[in-house]
Amino acid sequence: MAIEKVGVVGAGQMGNGIAHVLALADYDVLMTDISEEAMSNALRLIDKNLDRQVMRGLISAEKKATALARISTTPVLTDLGQTDLIIEAATERETVKQAIFEDLLPHLKPTTILTSNTSSISITRLASRTDRPERFMGFHFMNPVPIMQLVELIRGIATDDATYNACVEVVERIGKTAASAEDFPAFIVNRILMPMINEAVYTLYEGVGSVKSIDESLKLGANHPMGPLELADFIGLDTCLAIMNVLHDGLADTKYRPCPLLVKYVEAGWLGRKTKRGFYDYRGEVPVPTR
């Protein structure tokens, strides 16, 4: 199962980072998105992030040029059908992901491996809606992709060994570390991380501490590089809520109940950095706590 050409569905925060690291590892990358603007922005951001790596001496200018030349874009999803591996990195909504895979199916090579960058949705369930559950996996990168070293590989109930081994080889070639996770809600990282963030929101909701005191407590008291509320804003409060809902629905345990304050922020459209307001207000020069 030689993989040389990879299709990436989605040109957002995760998709452009995935394209970046694949191209640096000498894969040919074809990226698609429903928005032409998103694809243009992704290419600009990849260029900028590669420049940073050049300035830090991590890669050469020649390597940057070669990587950029390996990335192409298309507005036509089905153009990805002739790639060896497809990594879906669209929004974290199961109906959206299912529709993408259903549209791709008639155009795929028999050997194409399908994967999803989902952070929480059942791989087995997504795979069951395709014609190749044995060649379907979870391929969960961490954000920001060029910096974070971990990739969670999640096998569905039908995923075969050849598919898993091929994905492990991709992870190794891009210089990252694979962690094998079972197909249960939110897998490993978010099964542990999101309840911590949710509990931080409850701590704020119940008035135990302010945004500033909660984040400072975890940074200085637990040596975390970012406070949990700052991290939630970075991830996106809508994504945090979606994962908590998957945990709550999938495991039926009240300890995973999303905090009402998290729900309220999402209802307000205060989703964090991407909307300029979340637990912090980012519209000024310095982020200011909103509570």
Q: Which one of the listed residues 88, 92, 152, 230 is annotated catalytic?
A: 152
Q: CA–CA separation, 210 vs 186, rounded Å?
A: 28
The arithmetic mean of pLDDT across residues 125-152, rounded, is 96
Q: Based on the residue annotation, tell me whether 190 is a catalytic residue of this protein.
A: yes
What percent of the chain has a predicted confidence (pLDDT) above 70? 100
pLDDT of residue 120: 86
Q: Based on the residue annotation, tell me whether 216 is a catalytic residue of this protein.
A: no
Region label for 181, one of left (φ > 0), alpha (ψ between -120 and 50) or beta (otherwise)? beta
Q: Are 43 and 73 in contact (CB under 8 A)?
A: yes
The arithmetic mean of pLDDT across residues 111-123, rounded, is 94
For residue 144, whether the previous peptide bond is cis, meaning omega lies within 30 degrees of 0, is: yes
Q: Which one of the listed residues 119, 120, 122, 198 is annotated catalytic?
A: 119
Q: Which one of the listed residues 20, 120, 140, 198 is annotated catalytic?
A: 140
Q: Based on the residue annotation, tell me whether 20 is a catalytic residue of this protein.
A: no
- Give the helix/strand (H/E) hosting 37: helix 36-55
The arithmetic mean of pLDDT across residues 104-131, rounded, is 95
Q: CA–CA separation, 118 vs 121, rounded Å?
A: 6
Q: Are 264 and 246 in contact (CB under 8 A)?
A: no
Q: Are 41 and 13 in contact (CB under 8 A)?
A: no
CATH fold for the domain made of 191-289:
N-(1-d-carboxylethyl)-l-norvaline Dehydrogenase; domain 2 (1.10.1040)
Q: Based on the residue annotation, tell me whether 134 is a catalytic residue of this protein.
A: no
pLDDT of residue 92: 85
pLDDT of residue 91: 87
Establish whether domains 5-181 and 191-289 are of one fold.
no
* Interval 176-201: pLDDT, tens: 999 999 999 999 999 999 999 999 99
Question: What is the CATH code for 5-181?
Answer: 3.40.50.720
pLDDT of residue 107: 96
The confidence band for 291, taking pLDDT boundaries of 50, 70 and 90, is very high
Q: Which one of the listed residues 16, 117, 122, 190 is annotated catalytic?
A: 190
The arithmetic mean of pLDDT across residues 255-278, rounded, is 97
Domain map (residue ranges) of the chain: 5-181, 191-289
The confidence band for 127, taking pLDDT boundaries of 50, 70 and 90, is very high
* Interval 199-236: pLDDT, tens: 999 999 999 999 999 999 999 999 999 999 999 999 99
* Interval 28-59: pLDDT, tens: 999 999 999 999 999 999 999 999 999 999 99
Q: Are 239 and 245 in contact (CB under 8 A)?
A: no
The confidence band for 174, taking pLDDT boundaries of 50, 70 and 90, is very high
The arithmetic mean of pLDDT across residues 75-84, rounded, is 96
